[in-house]
Amino acid sequence: MFRKLIGSKEFYKKVLIITLPILIQQVITNFVSLVDNFMVGRLGTEQMSGVAGVNQLLFVFNICVFGGISGAGIFTAQYFGKGDHKGVRDTFRAKIMIVAFIAAVCLGAFCFFDDELISLFLHQGEDNLDLAATLEFGKQYMLIMLLQVPLFAITQAYAGTLRETGSTVLPMSAGIAAVVTNAVLDYVLIFGKLGLPALGVEGAAYATVIARFVEASVIVAVTHINRNKYKYVKGLYRSVRIPFALVKDIAKKGFPLMLNEILWALGTTTLAWCYAQRGLEVFAAQNISSTVSNLFFCAFFAMGSAISIIVGQLLGAGELERAKDEDRKLIFLAVVMCTVIGAVMAFLSPYIPQVYNTTDTVKRIATIFLLISSVLMPFHGFVHNAYFTLRCGGKTFITFLFDSVYVWAVCVPLAFVLAQFTDASAITIYFAVQSLEIIKCVVGFILVKKGVWINNLVADKE
């Protein structure tokens, strides 16, 4: 049995080639996010919490974009595995239209309901922090951050297509250019270096917008300059036509996936709202914990992308047994990595919150949140990769039940009841909700082992 979980040198070499660029990009991106979070955190708890509230809302937009292009992305990987460049181009067009629509809707919501949305996370706690100042900092930050919404959307349409066709280096390079730009400008604009005024939270927003512009410019320009390499971009904008049969297929497979991502993001945001009922200190602590955790979670995020690419292409090529075998090995590798990385995270948990200019209460809660996340990391890793396994085989309705329905039917009700009708501490609520991931592991294991996801979606499509 153990031999079935271990791959050959050639297998791990292939995984490394595909995963390493994605991992590097995600590590650098999340490290810079951590540095950004730390720099804003040096301004004070109110500034950090205002920015965190806006970023929680933008997180919903980001997930909507990911969900919107994921359905088409299933077909992109399988068309590429089949060698059908026209099919890839058609799915690419669909992604561009989808992200444009999502960006327009989110811009409208953020412009007209900024006060109401940011205020959702602002509740008084034991340290009597200034909620009005926190709201004002959040509004200043959001007004500028809206400029990066369309840039992020088009970047993801390009980056997703490149990754699904095995070209992971360009998105990584564009991402690195963006995060380096962001890190440098954060320091210069937040604190007023090189003779520039100190802009505080507005400086952080300007740095992000400029970085998004750099990333979008690099990825779009290089892709089209190398259109002989990326053959599917030839004629991409000459027409908006997409075969109706493909539109139906993307809608059938993609809508449940997009709905899943949107509901999952809203569910996660609702959980953040439930925790925040215990005070602004808890919201600030969760912001620190989630930003740090995301850096350590990069390992299983990258492995999920590897499953989408490797297993998706094998399914498209009709190599179903090989897809099943390599998927099993990829999931095992992800769990082993998460166990090791979780131990490192647990060791560092008491020290990381100390670098923030915030209250002792915030630091204490953030430390405990980090410890809980580190212990549960192997479970998170398994669930994440089981989800991507089900998704790459087109089982989008199952992933809908497995992911967002689970959040809304199990996690949110538990958090809401504990937050609204009991005196349970934020730590107790957080631990109870996070522990529910163990149940998902059991369900995910059964679904993956049964092989319900093993499907070639493009076998008969020309």
Per-block mean pLDDT, blocks of 10 residues, the chain (462 long): 73 84 77 78 84 86 86 82 82 90 92 84 69 88 93 92 85 87 91 89 93 94 89 82 82 77 86 88 88 84 82 79 84 90 93 87 93 93 87 75 87 94 93 92 86 68 48
Full-prediction pTM beyond 0.85? no
Task: Give the pLDDT score at 128.
Answer: 62
What's the burial of 330, exposed, middle or buried (CB within 10 Å: 0-12/13-18/19+)? buried
Task: Give the pLDDT score at 462.
Answer: 46
- Total residues found in the chain within this entry: 462
Task: Give the pLDDT score at 126.
Answer: 62
For residues 141 and 50, the answer to whether their CB atoms sit within 8 Å is yes
Task: Give the pLDDT score at 145.
Answer: 92
